[in-house]
Amino acid sequence: MPLIRSMRNIGHRTVDTIWRVGFAARFFVLILLNSGMSFRRFHLTVKELFFTGVMSLIIILVAGLFVGVVLGLQGYETLKSYGSESALGTLVALSLVRELGPVLAALLFASRAGSAMTAEIGLMKATEQIAAMEMMAVNPIARVVAPRFWAGVISMPLLAAMFSAVGVFGGYLVGVVFIGVDEGSFWSQMQSSVDFQHDIMNGVLKSFVFGIAVTVISLFEGFDAPPTAEGVSGATTRTVVQSSVVVLLLDVVLTAIMFRGI
Amino acid sequence: MSLQPIVEIRDVNFTYDTRPVLKGINMTFHKGKVIAIMGGSGCGKTTLFRLIGGALKPTKGEIKIDGQVMHELDQAGLYEMRRKMGVLFQFGALFTDMSVYDNVAFQMREHTDLPEEMIRDLVMMKLHAVGLRGTHALMPAELSGGMARRVALARTIALDPMLILYDEPFAGLDPISLTAIGSSIRQLNNALGATSVVVTHDVQESLKIVDYIYFISDGVIVAEGTPAEIQASDKPFVHQFVHGEMDGPVPFQYPGGDYKTDLGVSA
């Protein structure tokens, strides 16, 4: 009976998804419980900060610049029809700081650093490096996973801030330098409209939450990957897809709470 | 030589889901001995290896190491026990993001407060023991398979373990590396006064270096003895295994349906 078979498949998938969410939550708690070493031996976290944060910098800065330039061009065209070109700085800054900075930086972070974390841990598992560590009486969650988690959580807000800063510069470049919007209006309107608490800190909070979500998903998928080439490749794909969906979903929830007070 | 048992395996049974893998295994490993556990693929020897390492818990029975029942230990106790053990994985399992030096120094840095100068001396001694002191600055990707296995052996003995477990240490090695690994296992065991358990398929190499051999088939011990006893054995399974015969108690054909029916030919 095809109907019963498809219903059974849906049931299996649902149960499997709930199991995985439960395992991921348990994994997150285990990371927090085993985080002591990440701070006692901070050089382990610093090493991972280099791989997750510094190595993601180029793509974040380039993407931020392009997004800022496009925002400047599109924003100018729209504002010009209302005679409000001087508000270009406000539009660029608020768009970046509140939304585009945290969200796009998180999506790029998931693609660049998240997928790399999943592949690295998945391969460590496939080549028995994780098992070897266990047999050497070294807890892999504390030694391998937790430093990467904290590196991701620390780097994400910094990367989002850099994305926004470079984006604002891109908007300035196209709006002020190339199109000729008044420089004083560009900066002064931005300064008067962007609120530190309401806009900047909420953006930082968003990127912090995205950092936790993307890093936990990446590490869990790597740790849970079947120890085969196919398994690691599937886990890497799942990391990017799940991280992107979760970031966008969290963005909806956080925006609703922060800016609409729901 | 002391006859104090380091490992005691008593009536161990292990079942994956409903499929019994090990059935009533009894073994005793004494200090200073090198023991081989042999058998065909899927006979349960790797499961036994993982049970000895505490990675699995037996369905029934117990494994005692140094007088302590492995499956009754909590995580702290298990880690404490594993500090006295060394495990060599089939393909070495070297940490690919660390140099040869850092791989061998790994456990020393994790488990001791030794100063870096002393760690350096110890690492060089361990690498010298496996003949690879000159590779200390290389990364694992720069080593051949045999060299990687020997570096992994140096890492395994980093903290002078009392029990060393080897999972297929001879798999995929050229004859020179094979002899190097084989003689290193024997010499290091003698030098450390340890006990070594070698899970392997390689009969000829094992017969040269081990003190005692267990043959496992279908989850039970089908033969055991010293290398001389094994070589002289007239048991069909041992004879087939030692002489590498294609057919015998372990059939060439995996059990299946009627051949003619599968070919669509009427009887």
- Of the partner residues A131, A138, A139, the one whose CB lies closest to the CB of residue B93: A131
According to DSSP, the residues that pair with B34 across neighbouring strands are B196
Do residues A121 and A48 touch, judged by C-beta distance below 8 A? no
pLDDT at B124: 95
CB–CB contact B82 A131 (8 Å): no
On the question of pLDDT at B2 being above 70, the answer is: no
Distances (CA, A) of B93 to A262, B50, B145, B155: 51, 15, 11, 10
| Chain B residues in contact with A124 (beta carbon < 8 A) | 95-96
The residue ranges of every structural domain in chain A are 34-260
List, for residues A58-95, the tens digit of each pLDDT value: 999 999 999 999 999 999 999 988 888 889 999 999 99
ipTM: 0.82
Q: Which two tokens stand for residue B24?
A: 């009533």
On the question of pLDDT at A262 being above 70, the answer is: no
On the question of pLDDT at B245 being above 80, the answer is: no
Closest residue in B to A135 (Cα) is B82
Residue B149 forms contact with A (CB below 8 Å): no
pLDDT band at A225 (very low <50, low <70, confident <90, very high): very high
Q: What is the 3-state secondary structure (H, E, C) of B143-162?
A: CCHHHHHHHHHHHHCCCCCC
| Chain B residues in contact with A129 (beta carbon < 8 A) | 93-96
Pick from A191-195, B40-44, B71-75: least confident:
B40-44
Do residues A134 and A86 touch, judged by C-beta distance below 8 A? no
% of chain A beyond a pLDDT of 70 = 99
pLDDT at A22: 94
Pick from A156-160, A220-224, B248-252: least confident:
B248-252
- Of the partner residues A129, A131, A139, the one whose CB lies closest to the CB of residue B95: A129
According to DSSP, the residues that pair with B221 across neighbouring strands are B216
Residue B89 forms contact with A (CB below 8 Å): yes
Q: Which two tokens stand for residue A191?
A: 């300064």
On the question of pLDDT at A28 being above 90, the answer is: yes
What is the helix (H) or strand (E) element at residue B207, kind and residue range? helix B203-209
Side chain identity, residue A132: A
On the question of pLDDT at B23 being above 70, the answer is: yes
Q: Which two tokens stand for residue A82?
A: 């209302």
List, for residues B82-105, the tens digit of each pLDDT value: 999 999 988 889 999 999 999 999
Residue A33 forms contact with B (CB below 8 Å): no
Mean pLDDT across A224-246: 94
Cα angle B236, B241, B243; round to 5: 95
pLDDT at A113: 94
| Residue A146 CA, distance from chain mean position | 17
pLDDT band at A102 (very low <50, low <70, confident <90, very high): very high
CA-wise closest residue to A250 among A210, A198, A220, A222: A210
CA distance B62 to chain A (A): 19
Taking the C-alpha atoms of residue A185 and residue A182, their distance in angstroms, rounded to an integer, is: 5
Q: Which two tokens stand for residue B223?
A: 């033969």
Taking the C-alpha atoms of residue A74 and residue A88, their distance in angstroms, rounded to an integer, is: 10
On the question of pLDDT at B246 being above 90, the answer is: no
Residue A136 forms contact with B (CB below 8 Å): yes
Q: What is the CATH number of domain B5-263?
A: 3.40.50.300
pLDDT at B3: 62
Whose tokens are 């890497």? That residue is A236
List, for residues A163-187, the tens digit of each pLDDT value: 999 999 999 999 999 998 899 999 9
The reported pTM is: 0.86
CA-wise closest residue to B127 among B110, B109, B148: B148
| Chain B residues in contact with A138 (beta carbon < 8 A) | 106-107, 110
Q: Which two tokens stand for residue A47?
A: 């090493």
Mutate to test the interface with A, among B46, B74, B80, B82 (most CBs of A within 10 A): B82
Mean pLDDT of chain B: 87
pLDDT at A49: 94
On the question of pLDDT at A192 being above 70, the answer is: yes
| Chain B residues in contact with A135 (beta carbon < 8 A) | 53, 55, 82, 85, 87
pLDDT band at B1 (very low <50, low <70, confident <90, very high): very low
pLDDT band at A249 (very low <50, low <70, confident <90, very high): very high
List, for residues B165-214, the tens digit of each pLDDT value: 998 888 888 888 888 888 889 988 998 889 999 998 888 888 888 999 99
Q: Which two tokens stand for residue A208?
A: 């912090």
pLDDT band at A261 (very low <50, low <70, confident <90, very high): low
- Of the partner residues A123, A124, A135, the one whose CB lies closest to the CB of residue B82: A135
DSSP 3-state assignment of B92? coil
φ, ψ at B198 (rounded to 5°): -110, 115
Q: What is the 3-state secondary structure (H, E, C) of chain A?
A: CHHHHHHHHHHHHHHHHHHHHHHHHHHHHHHHHCCHHHHHCHHHHHHHHHHHCHHHHHHHHHHHHHHHHHHHHHHHHHHHHCCCHHHHHHHHHHHHHHHHHHHHHHHHHHHHHHHHHHHHHHHHHHCCHHHHHHHCCCCHHHHHHHHHHHHHHHHHHHHHHHHHHHHHHHHHHHHHHHHCCCHHHHHHHHHHHCCHHHHHHHHHHHHHHHHHHHHHHHHHHHHHCCCCHHHHHHHHHHHHHHHHHHHHHHHHHHHHHHHHCC
Do residues B161 and B84 touch, judged by C-beta distance below 8 A? yes
Q: Which distant-in-sequence residues (6+ apart) come within 8 Å of A188 by Cβ?
A: A89
CB–CB contact A131 B55 (8 Å): yes
- Of the partner residues A129, A137, A139, the one whose CB lies closest to the CB of residue B93: A129
According to DSSP, the residues that pair with B223 across neighbouring strands are B215
Residue A132 forms contact with B (CB below 8 Å): yes
Question: If you count residue pairs, one on A and one on B, with CB atoms under 8 Å apart, how many are there?
Answer: 45
Cβ–Cβ contacts within 10 Å for residue B168, how many?
18
CB–CB contact B93 A137 (8 Å): no
Determine if residue A256 is left, alpha or beta; phi over 0 gives left, psi from -120 to 50 gives alpha, anything else beta: alpha
On the question of pLDDT at B267 being above 60, the answer is: no
CA-wise closest residue to B224 among B240, B238, B243, B207: B238
What is the helix (H) or strand (E) element at residue B15, kind and residue range? strand B5-16
Mean pLDDT of chain A: 93
Mean pLDDT across A50-57: 93
| Chain A residues in contact with B78 (beta carbon < 8 A) | 137
Residue A128 forms contact with B (CB below 8 Å): yes
- Of the partner residues A129, A134, A138, the one whose CB lies closest to the CB of residue B110: A138
DSSP 3-state assignment of B216? strand
| Residue A103 CA, distance from chain mean position | 7
Residue B90 forms contact with A (CB below 8 Å): yes
Taking the C-alpha atoms of residue A63 and residue A83, their distance in angstroms, rounded to an integer, is: 29
On the question of pLDDT at A208 being above 90, the answer is: yes
pLDDT at A86: 85
CA-wise closest residue to A90 among A79, A103, A101: A79
CA-wise closest residue to A69 among A215, A160, A178, A223: A178
